[in-house]
Structure 1
Amino acid sequence: MKTRLSIVIALILLSFSGAAQAQSVDAQYRTWLDQSLWPDAKAAGVSRATFDAAFKGVTPNLKLPDLVLPGQKPATPKNQHQAEFGAPGAYFAEKTIGSVQAGGRARASEHARTLRAVEQRFGVPSGIVLAIWGRESGFGRAKIPYDAIEVLSTKAFLSTRKDLFRKETLAALQVLEKGWAAKSDMKSSWAGALGQPQFLPSSLINHAVDMDGDGRRDIWTSVPDTLGSIANYLAHHGWQTGRDWGFEVTLPRSIACSLEGPDRGKSFADWAKLGAKRVSGSAFPAKEMSKEGFLLLPAGTNGPAFIVTPNFYVLKDYNTSDLYALFVGNAADRITAGGSAFKGKWGSVDKLYRSDVAAMQRGLEKQGYDVGGADGLPGYKTRRSIGEWQAKNGMTPTCFPSADLVKAVH
């Protein structure tokens, strides 16, 4: 009986403690709004009426990920959201990419006139635009449930990337001030991305367009504005009209995986001379032969290989994941040309936490390798550094992190 009573008392005290902490955070948040955020919003052209209306009834959403409450220290989360930390093949599940392909082909016909206008104006192929639309919001069908002001301001106040989300909160307030959206319409993902293209507010301001001519940049309900805005984003980030995004290839053993990266490019003609061949059996397009291409091995030697163009890295500007950009490229090919899944097989990878990869990266840095920073993300600089380290130590290069490598590199 005493044990039960003790547990009940402990739970009550914990409840009171949690409520008191929430009240404390709420009070600090309100002070931060008035004393810190409002002066910057005013300087950015936001009226007091818009500011007050935006934050009426808003409190911090403490259920969001990557928050650091007052008095706590930042910690690397155990659960990773990046696709690269799971089995890469799962990202290309046929159910998912097949749905984007089918939905994209249906909408290519339905919105043919708009898509022609978008491609003519921005130079971005309709397949790419449709693939991004499908991936980001299921062609506008996905539920986007969060209050954008709540999400963005919570992250600006409490997240591990306060400066980024402060900038985006101010941009969201400017959107409201311009009248491009009502507060009730400002719905976002848990990460603060808005509308059907899933733009952060600054991207909405910088890249959204009024494609339907109604005087608003409506990325929530207007299909023409959504399609035009996606294309304009890519055009602003350097999309090269008339070029493909890339090609799946087979590689001879003589092409080392450590040659990967956008800073180690060669002409397509040179890659062909080295023995890179398209898996389709066709030659590289004649228009590409004199232009630069880049080796991409997103799973090292344990997955498909690609020679990509600069347009692949434009897709990565939309979402920094290699797998995302490959998904969009493959889905676009399948929408417009009836292509199929990648031929290369995605092998299994070891379950690693971001902290494990970061520790390995620090070990490589100590030995003089440029891993692109010890951020725990296995980007191309990390992958090729692994390959170089493996070759130097008499191993067969795989160019991808593993549990054994984490132990070996220190």
Structure 2
Amino acid sequence: MAAVLVAFTAGPALADAGFQRWVAEFRNVAIQNGISGATYDRAFSGITAPDPEVLEKARYQPEFRSEAWEYFDNRLQERTIRTGQQLARQWKPWLDRIESQFGVSRHILLAIWSIESNYGEALKNDRVMRSLPRSLATLAYADSRRAKFARSQLIAALQIVERGDISANQLTSSWAGAMGHTQFIPTSYQAYAVDMDGDGRRDIWNSVPDALATAANLLRKNGWQSGETWGYEVVLPGGRKFPAGTMSLSRWAGIGVVRANGKPFPRPSDNAELKVPDGRAGPAFLMTKNFFVIKRYNNSDKYALAVGLLADQIAGYSGLVRDWNRPFERLSGEETEELQKRLGALGYYEGPIDGKIGSGSRSAIKAFQERMGLAQDGHPSKEVLKRLRGR
């Protein structure tokens, strides 16, 4: 595989020839797994070289690890909450049916839809979505760490086309093979996909009912507790350590842990585990079973908590009682977009105006801070926006 990587970087002609040989040889593997030659040929029609952007993303993943405040600020915004509420009204008849059939909260499904694909907007973005066959073939051919995964996912994706759920030319995904509104990898799609709208196809790319029902099916099959929450924000008593693992909410209350909103725990016998994603100085949570079911979608505490918090706000509940340990005064969503626009107007920023602070926004802020003689922390602060307005 090292030789393949050398060939890819050494010259495109040799790399293309090697890639084309790989595609030709993998055709037999696909046929052995129930995929017709015609389906395979349609899937790879016009694909003659690896996707260099896929390899760039695979090899050079960002080293930056977001702080808790940044992770949640980018996912829980006024715009995402408002859009979720609007879509809850728009899709109410389908959400009623999905919630009735699978027992999963509509607000949880809307939050997953938001975080996974920005309510489907990412599917319209050519910089995000690309040809799945080319992406996975690129990884299988030129990325030794992901080759086995990519081969298995490519077979599963081609089986989806063979079944007739999506046409070969509509088979798009993220660079790593996550598909549709709710971003399922092909093998997970095979395990959980649902034809909710009854058109004979399980189409999570074009059918919102199919996509949301598929997400609901995954959660239900992994033990979702219908009608129950994912957890509670709590206040911890000072001056003591807390046990690891789970115990009943009544036992947590017995050692002084109370809900942040002052209300009692509605089901004291439920078991819960303490999580403090921002340390003892930040908000604390007692997580019940549904939190860990959400982690079957994405095995990350931050992800599951973001889904739960966003779902609650889409449902109309208030936000956190105790905020994250943010080392600056937070901007509103509109102010963050204004910051990006002003940085763009000054030539520092070329990315989307979306209110989300990623590496591009941070680099632009740092460049502006350097010019203004400020500490170069990259934080989207009130101070930075004030200076930008002064320009």
TM exceeds 0.5?
yes
1:40 aligns with 2:32: no
Tell me the distance in 2 between the aligned counterparts of 1:226 and 1:18: 37
TM-score calculated relative to the size of structure 2: 0.75
Which secondary structure does the structure 1 equivalent of 2:278 belong to? strand
Q: For structure 1, which runs of at least 5 residues remain unmatched after alignment?
A: 1-16, 69-74, 349-410
2:39 to 47, 50, 54: 50
Q: In the TM superposition, what is the alpha-carbon distance from 1:18 to its structure 2 partner? A: 7.3
Which amino acid is 2:209 matched to? P
Tell me the distance in 2 between the aligned counterparts of 1:297 and 1:18: 45
| Distance change (3 Å), C-alpha of 1:209 and 1:310 | same
1:253 to 238, 261, 271: 238
Which secondary structure does the structure 2 equivalent of 1:266 belong to? strand
1:113 aligns with 2:98: no
Which amino acid is 1:79 matched to? P
Partner of 1:80: 63
1:138 aligns with 2:122: no
1:7-52 CA deviation, whole Å, 9 max, x = no partner? xxxxxxxxxx9785322222222222333x3333222210111112
Q: For structure 2, which runs of at least 5 residues remain unmatched after alignment?
A: 1-6, 328-391
1:70-115 CA deviation, whole Å, 9 max, x = no partner? xxxxx8x57237xxx1221012227853222111111111111111
| Distance change (3 Å), C-alpha of 1:144 and 1:172 | farther
Tell me the distance in 2 between the aligned counterparts of 1:166 and 1:292: 40
1:311-346 CA deviation, whole Å, 9 max, x = no partner? 111212212222221111011111113322452323
Which amino acid is 1:329 matched to? G
1:61 aligns with 2:51: yes
Tell me the distance in 2 between the aligned counterparts of 1:233 and 1:65: 30
TM-score calculated relative to the size of structure 1: 0.71
- Contact 1:88–1:299 (CA under 8 A) maintained in structure 2: yes
- Contact 1:54–1:183 (CA under 8 A) maintained in structure 2: yes
Partner of 2:264: 283
Partner of 2:12: 22
- Contact 2:75–2:306 (CA under 8 A) maintained in structure 1: no
Which amino acid is 1:130 matched to? L
Tell me the distance in 2 between the aligned counterparts of 1:129 and 1:183: 27
Partner of 1:165: 150
Q: How many pairs were matched up?
A: 315
| Distance change (3 Å), C-alpha of 1:309 and 1:44 | same
Which amino acid is 1:277 matched to? V
Identical aligned residues as a percent: 38
Q: In the TM superposition, what is the alpha-carbon distance from 1:248 to its structure 2 partner? A: 1.1
Which secondary structure does the structure 1 equivalent of 2:315 belong to? helix
| Distance change (3 Å), C-alpha of 1:78 and 1:61 | closer
Q: In the TM superposition, what is the alpha-carbon distance from 1:66 to its structure 2 partner? A: 6.4
- Contact 1:155–1:162 (CA under 8 A) maintained in structure 2: yes
Which secondary structure does the structure 2 equivalent of 1:294 belong to? strand
Partner of 1:328: 307
Partner of 1:356: none
Q: In the TM superposition, what is the alpha-carbon distance from 1:279 to its structure 2 partner? A: 0.8
Which amino acid is 1:152 matched to? L
Partner of 1:391: none
Tell me the distance in 2 between the aligned counterparts of 1:336 and 1:200: 28
- Contact 2:282–2:322 (CA under 8 A) maintained in structure 1: no
| Distance change (3 Å), C-alpha of 1:341 and 1:184 | farther
Give the superposed CA RMSD: 2.3
Tell me the distance in 2 between the aligned counterparts of 1:41 and 1:153: 12
| Distance change (3 Å), C-alpha of 1:342 and 1:206 | farther
